[in-house]
Amino acid sequence: MKLHEYSSYDATGLAELVSRREVTTVELARLAREAHDQMNPKLNAVVEFYADAESVPGSDAGLFGGVPFLRKDISATEAGRLYECGSRLYRGFRPTVDSYFVERARAGGLRIVGRTTTTELGVSALSETAMCGITRNPWNLDRTVGGSSSGSGAAVAAGIVPIASASDGGGSIRIPASYCGLVGLNPSRGRISGGPSRQDSGIGMSRSFVLCRTVRDMAAALDVLSGSYPGDPFLIPGPERTYVEELSQPSGRLRIGVALSSWAEVKLDPEIRDRVAETAKVLEAMGHVVQEIGPPFSVSDYREVIAGATYLGRANLDVVANALGRTVDETTLEKINLIIYESAKHLPLSYAEKVFEYARKIRFDVGKAVKDFDIVLTPTMPCTALPHNTHSTEEMSVDEYLTLDAVGFCQYLGVFSVTGQPSVSLPLFSSIEGLPIGIQIVGRFADEATVVRVAKDLEQAFPWAKRRPPVFAGIAG
């Protein structure tokens, strides 16, 4: 198999080749390394490609038997492998346990061949860190990939691997999906276990999943990675059938709410608004009932929740620093995280209760606003991928970071992390500049099945499989 052939397949397609013995697992690992060696100097997406990638463990019988897979360097852990969270504070840290996510990935046949860049502690929607440098977008090297699943987005978009791990608290799967032309699902809260140590991370907002290029890979990944374990905070209702089986099921006649206005301070780009409206018309032509909706929450309440998750997420850094024999200061943390950490230390115990109350109110308000809809259709991002250095978290106050980065640019994203609803960014369009435009589909809680079916319908209506960025393994100049 040649490199350009390898990079043309999605994960399901590569697994089928392995099952038919048309290619071996070792050959795929070597091709992934070749793609990495060609692409990574341009992108800076992979912080480490394992020296032993050709012999890493994984089942041959799973849905993804033999497929190379990259791990985002935050959230999921591999015993004995580096886990540095994009931060100098964690430099050299090697956990002693596999996360359940990693266990299930290997059982599904995925071969973890390396780890990808991430913004420091997952804090930014951009794609640069003091530790890892700038991760560049294969659609335009001068544009951001988005964060915090930066390296995974760039690596999948450029064909280094067809699928990679990602995690999302305020939009960190869906942002790179939108900016890089990928499929990025944030599953329902509880669908993917965060165990054994991150069962309810980010005040219940953060979940782990993948970035990929096709809806069938998304569905198969749900089948592989879903499952509850002892210690998980609650049990989520299981699906009626496998998600791969849902690909062939009809969507029925759905009630769809459509967002065509800004939900926060950053204004919605008119071109993206038009693409959402175009998607709505196609869904209406499919027989669905479409109705425009306004912002389903108070932006000030939303900001309080995002601020709370940010502050509370830094409250344990002293524990981490002590365990690693380090101090929390400007040599171990970027400026924005250091400011957040120092502010968090002075918050009263009552602050957490205040944050939980705002989160409760958001869940109630959104639930009431969208209760009559089976699906909500929104932009993923209010704009296309920004040029590097448009703004920097190193130059922002915390208030500016929250208003612009965490809330403004992520105005359609984090709210559904708070409610726990499944939401996917689909690469339906390209902008006038040739940059990807993601459109978000949000389902009812625990109803990934409807999301899968609608996503498949839209993939057929707006086929994106043959789109390739200028920087792509096997064809890049």
pLDDT at 138 > cutoff 80:
yes
- The CATH class given to the 3-461 domain equals alpha beta
Catalytically annotated residue among 8, 72, 75, 417: 72
pLDDT at 477 > cutoff 70:
no
The DSSP result for 103-145, as a single string, is HHHHHTT-EEEEEE---GGG--SSSEETTTEE-EETTEEEEE-
Query: Using an 8 Å Cβ cutoff, are 309 and 205 in contact?
Result: yes
Q: Catalytic site residue 19?
A: no
pLDDT at 96: 97
| Domain extent listing, the chain | 3-461
Strand partners, 4: none
Give the amino acid at 326.
Answer: R
Query: Per residue in 455-471, pLDDT tens?
Result: 999 999 999 999 999 99
pLDDT at 396: 82
Distance CA 253, CA 261 (A): 25
Nearest C-alpha neighbor of 324 from the set 144, 34, 92, 50 = 92
Q: Catalytic site residue 172?
A: yes
Give the amino acid at 311.
Answer: Y
> 351: how many CB neighbours lie within 10 A of its CB?
16
Query: Per residue in 70-120, pLDDT tens?
Result: 999 999 999 999 999 999 999 999 999 999 999 999 999 999 999 999 999
Catalytically annotated residue among 87, 148, 152, 226: 148
pLDDT at 243 > cutoff 80:
yes
Helix (H, G, I), strand (E, B) or coil at 31: helix
Q: Catalytic site residue 72?
A: yes
Query: Per residue in 18-35, pLDDT tens?
Result: 999 999 999 999 999 999
Distance CA 161, CA 221 (A): 14
93, burial (CB in 10 Å: exposed 0-12, middle 13-18, buried 19+): middle
- 126 — pLDDT class (breaks 50, 70, 90): confident
Catalytically annotated residue among 172, 188, 193, 208: 172
